[in-house]
Structure formats: structure tokens, C-alpha cells
Chains A and B, each alone.
Chain A
Amino acid sequence: MSEPLLQIEDLAVRFRTDEGAVRAVDGVSLSVERGEVVAVVGESGSGKSVTGMTLMGLTRGPNAEISGSARLDGRELLTMSNRELRAVRGNDIAMVFQDPMSSLNPVYRVGDQIVEQIRTHQQLSRQQAMARAVELMERVGVPRAAERLRSYPHEFSGGMRQRVMIAMALSCSPKLLIADEPTTALDVTIQAQILEELRQLRSETNAGIILVTHDLAVVADIADRVVVMYSGRVVEQGTLDELFYDPQHPYTWGLLGSITRVDSDRSARLPAIDGMPPSLLAPPPGCHFQPRCPHAFERCGEVPELSPRTPDSPGHLDRCWLEVERKRTLRLVDGQIGLAAPVRA
């Protein structure tokens, strides 16, 4: 079996701060195949964005400690020299960031910003690069592309800016696209259009896509596989169907339970997971979710391995000590998947 496009093994990222070491990412393993969309889900501070940025080397610095392995097409990214890494950034791996309003430099014309990236990686004249930029802008659905390339970012709407960001990301035909919450800052209708662009891109270029998001609706819309992160760790991963119809980790139940549904009782309060995410400076021992988990028991003081625990689907991994059959009953709250209310003393 050939190696996947991207293989991350046991990635850990720590930042030294005045208060102590922050374990932003604490042992993440995942893989992305060509043409596959992998969604990384979790709440703020779960390490999902840091994981994406680390692949690009954007978290490197005097206060960062990075360990583990991340191979793109067999090439190790984490130990690459800065020079080699720059050749990969924007070329083999491209990234689309969360906030299109602030991710483009306000003082340069958008055309120049796209051309800058193209000419960093390819031997093209300015005119050729500009022609390529026009082509890209048209492809991501910017009308009157040639004219709009001369505009400044503040003359674009949020959705249009995100298209520019995507055009820029695509400019060197990357093998892997990391989209970090690409639709969070946008209206719902624009969201759908942007997702459509990503879907098309995947089928046209066969690029792998990592979609970092906290929005399960987006996940359901586009992902092939889903990775759920909590407090720097992957707590569950599997195919879209496995995750949505047979979720194994109580945290995943909580996520699924807190989604509003069209058919839900509107008078009921939207359930939320009780408590706060743990401090990354001093995470609890064992399972990080244990302090918020109503089903926790003694064994949760040990860290559960990320391993296949369901007998019928070997690709479905999770980190929870509960018995599979017990989980399937515990996760039902009022007939739907959710996290039971905590038992209060």
C-alpha cells in the first residue's frame, strides 16, 4: 500500500510561556489521501488550527517545541530547513485562513498579492503571472476578474476576499490545501458557495484538503473523513457516517447533541457541554475530557490510546475506555445522540 499524501504521526507542539509550557497539540496522528477531504473538528483551543499551522512551519519559533513526524509525499516537514520549507509553503501546501477581512495585506492590490505568490515559486514573467491570476479569479467565481485584480482588498466584500484567498492558495496547484475555518466569518449563503468551490477543486485537481472547522454543518456537507480534537488530542476519527451515526467518544456526542435541528423542540434550551475546556498549561491527568464527562469512571485517570474499539470498522478510532455496547445506550438522550446532563451531587 503506497503512503498517503500526508501522514502525521504523534505530532506534539508545546509553547513555552511565562506561566509554563502550553501543550497546544499533544500527540496527533492522522492521514490525508489525495482527493480526500478530512475535517478536523473541535472547539477553540483544541489545537486544530495549531496543527494546520505547524504543517506549514508557521508555529516555528524560539518558544515552540515541536516533535513527532509529518510527511508530505514521504518528505518530512517538521525537520525541513527553513529554506526547503519556504519552497513547500504556498507551493505544495497552501493555506486559506479564517478571517478574509484581515488576511490580505490592505496596502497592495489583490492582483499583486496573487502574482507575488506565483512568482515566488514559478519562473514566470509578470504578464504571465497576471494572466494566471485572472484565470484563477475567474475559476473561483470573481466576476470581471481582470478589472478587479487592480482593486485593493478593502474594496471587496468578505465572500469575495475569501475567493481571492482561495485563488491565491490554488495559484501554484498545491497537493494539499489547509482551509482553517474558511467560512466562519461569512454569511450562510456565501458559505455554501465557498464550500462548492472547495468541492470542485477537490474533484478537478485531486488535491487533499484538510478542513479545520467547528461547524458540523460544514463537515456534513463536504468531508469524507472526520477527526475530532479535544484539548490538543485526537479523541475520535472515522468516516463521516461512522462519526455521525455511531459516535464513540462522549465529547463527540456532546458536539452532535448541541446542534440545532429543524425538527427539534424550539422551546427546549439548546444543550451545551457543561464546564470549560481544560487549561492547556495543566491538563487533567488521563482522559482530558474526564472532568466534564458525566460517564467518567476510575479508569479515566489513565490516558486511553487512540485505537479501533468497534469490532466491525477498523478505521474508526477513539480514545474512550467505555465498552462499545454501553456507549451505544449511554449516548441516547431523549432518543437522539447527545451528552447526558451531568449528575450533580
Chain B
Amino acid sequence: MSAISSELSAELPPEGGPAEPDLPAGTGPYRLAWRRLRRNRVSMFFGLVFLLIVILCLLAPVYAQDIAHMGPNAGSPTTQITIGGKTEFVTNSVGVPIGPTWNFSKYFLGADSLGRNEAVRLLYGGRSSLEIGVVAMLITMVLGTVLGLLAGFYRGVTDGLISRVSDVIWSFPVVILGIALATVINVQGLGPLHSTTLMTTAVVIGFVYIPYVVRPVRAQVLGLREREFVDAARQQGLSGPRIMFSELLPNLSSTLVVFVPLILANAILLEAGLSYLGAGVQPPNASWGTMLEQGLQLFPGGFSTVLVPGVMLVLTVMSVNIFGDGLRDALDPRSKVAR
């Protein structure tokens, strides 16, 4: 019997879960992820909710002109409206604004303390909040990815510098960092940035989240750069930047895709926090954060001016988060870890 030796499994496929059924050959990982994502109804639903919110906010001028007949900064405390034959001021004698009228053309969601149309401002504010969120997310993603790639690929001094600086930034609370940066820029200006542009807030938020992308990207690049395909690229004489962007970057894409909704959600939240503290979007620009801040100044009166932007903000951020959660599960079905 001893003539029989060694094992026979060399040609057998590796152990693993059941193969995906009846897929055509060459179905790429993103097609597979998309199939899995589509099957996750909750995620898809909230993805659509987010899309709807974006579309509504983009249609803000249409609503303002054709339905509400007033712009985001129009109206005053002494503006009068007639509902059900009764005419009243949009704010009462102690300055508390009226609540929702549920009448699409007349202060649908009530007024704010200055008598402006809350519904119109909500849509315009949403445009600002989303714009800031998206721009901040793009800044974070691009700079975070580039710095993470550089640190992981070149290691040594480059890595030491990038990693230590991002460690230090990462150690401080994002809100405090954000306030500090925004205050300096608002007072002193920085190139094209100054207190009246939304981009100041976007740049500040984009900056403080950079380390949250640099760290995981760097860690993954450190692993990838030891792999054979990178060796092969080096043997072919490809330059460092070429290897980073055409060999390593595609391999990072699923990680990066997962970060997009995560950073977007947090950027929108941070905008609200900074604006609440007066370090974000500056009046008279509307954003959900500034609307919340103005609503809270009336406290405890006119609580609808807090609830209206608040509900919208939470709904938006939650939609992004739930969609992002589903996206992560779809891209990496095995990983159940949140981050």
C-alpha cells in the first residue's frame, strides 16, 4: 500500500463558498456587486430617497418662482398671508414665526424668524449643504487617496512625514479643527476663500477628514506594493507615478467607493455643526446648519424652524449612510465590519 503516496488535491479547486450561479463568464466584480446591491431593497430604497432629495433641492428655483412666488431671502416679519379667509402676520408680536400652513403656495412649512419662507429656504439650504458635502467629499477623497498612495508607495521619509502629520490632525476633534480653520479663513481670507463663499466651509471640512482616508489607503497600498503585479510593473520599467495610478489605484477602487458615502454623510453633518456654532456658512446664505442655528435662537418658541431643517438633515444623512452600508456589503459580502 505504501506505493500510494502524496496527495491528489493539486488540481482541485480551492475550498470556498458555493460559486455564483449561472453567470456568464467574465462577469466583473462591479457587475456582481451591483447585482447584490439591487437585491438589498432597504439600501436601494434609501438610495432613491437621497436621489429624490437631491432632485428636489436642485429644483429649488422652480419652486421659489412658480409655486411659492418668493426667493429664499424675500419676506419680512410683517409680511401678511391669508389662509382660510384669515389674514395674519408671518411672525407674531413676540417674533415667533407661524408654523407649517401645509399650503404649497403660501409658506408651506411656515416662516423663519425674519419672515422668510421656510420651505423655499429648506430647498436652497439643501443645495448649499449638499454642495458643501459633495465638494468636501471630493477634496477629502482626492487628497486622501493621493497622500495615502504616496505614503504607502514611497515609504521612508515621505511616509513618515505624511503619516505623522495625519496622525496629529487625526488626534484632534474635527469640530474644533474645523472651527479654528474656518475662523482663520473667514477673518484673514486664503486666496479665493473668504467668509461669503460656501467653498470656505467645503475646503475646511474636506481638509479635516483627509486623515480618515489617508490611513486606510496607506495601509492597503503597503500590502499591495508587495504583490507580484507591482513587481512585474517595476520590472517593465514603469515609473513610480505610473505604477501608483495605473496599477495600484484600480485595486483600491472598492475601498474608495465605500468611503464616498461615508465621508459625504459626515461632511453634511459637520457643515451643520460648524454652521450651528457660527463657523460654517455665513448669513444670509441658507444651509440646513444655518437654518437650525437661526431656529434655535428663538428657542423655545417656533420649534418648527428647528424641526423642519432637522428632519431633512437627518433623513438625508441617514439615506446616505444606509445606502453606503448596503454598498459596502455588496462590494465585500464577507466583511461585516462597519469600518
Whether A and B are associated in the same complex: the answer reads: yes
Residues of chain A touching chain B, judged by Cβ–Cβ distance below 8 Å, are 17-20, 22, 43-45, 214-217, 220-221, 244, 255, 258-263, 270, 272-273, 276-277, 279-282
A277 touches B13 (CB 8 A): yes
**Contact partners of A220 in chain B: CB under 8 A:** 1-2, 4
B13 touches A216 (CB 8 A): no
Taking A19-B21, A216-B8 as given, write out 12 further A-B residue pairs in contact, using a Cβ cutoff of 8 Å, ordered by the A residue number: A19-B18, A44-B16, A220-B2, A244-B1, A258-B8, A259-B4, A260-B6, A261-B3, A261-B5, A272-B11, A277-B13, A282-B21
Binary contact readout B158-170 vs A (1 if CB under 8 angstroms, 0 otherwise):
0000000000000
B5 touches A44 (CB 8 A): no
* B242 contacts chain A at the CB level, 8 A cutoff: no
B1 touches A44 (CB 8 A): no
- Given A19-B18, A45-B15, also A221-B1 (CB < 8 A): yes
CB distance from B329 to the nearest CB of A (A): 11
- Given A261-B3, A276-B13, also A281-B8 (CB < 8 A): no
* B19 contacts chain A at the CB level, 8 A cutoff: yes
By size class, the interface of chain B is: 20 to 34
**Contact partners of B157 in chain A: CB under 8 A:** none
B15 touches A44 (CB 8 A): yes
**Contact partners of B21 in chain A: CB under 8 A:** 19-20, 279, 281-282
Instruction: Please report whether the interface of chain B is mostly helix, strand, loop or mixed according to DSSP.
Output: loop
Which of A44, A244, A262, A282 interacts with B13 by CB under 8 Å?
A44
25 A–B pairs (Cβ distance < 8 Å), ordered by A: A18-B36, A18-B39, A22-B18, A43-B12, A45-B13, A45-B15, A214-B7, A215-B7, A216-B7, A216-B8, A217-B5, A220-B1, A244-B1, A258-B8, A259-B4, A263-B3, A270-B11, A272-B10, A272-B11, A273-B11, A277-B12, A279-B18, A279-B21, A281-B18, A281-B21
* B14 contacts chain A at the CB level, 8 A cutoff: yes
> Within the assembled complex, what's the spacing in Å between the Cα atoms of A43 and B19?
15
Which residue of B has the minimal Cβ distance to A98? B15
B1 touches A17 (CB 8 A): no
CB distance from A334 to the nearest CB of B (A): 16
> Within the assembled complex, what's the spacing in Å between the Cα atoms of A279 and B23?
12
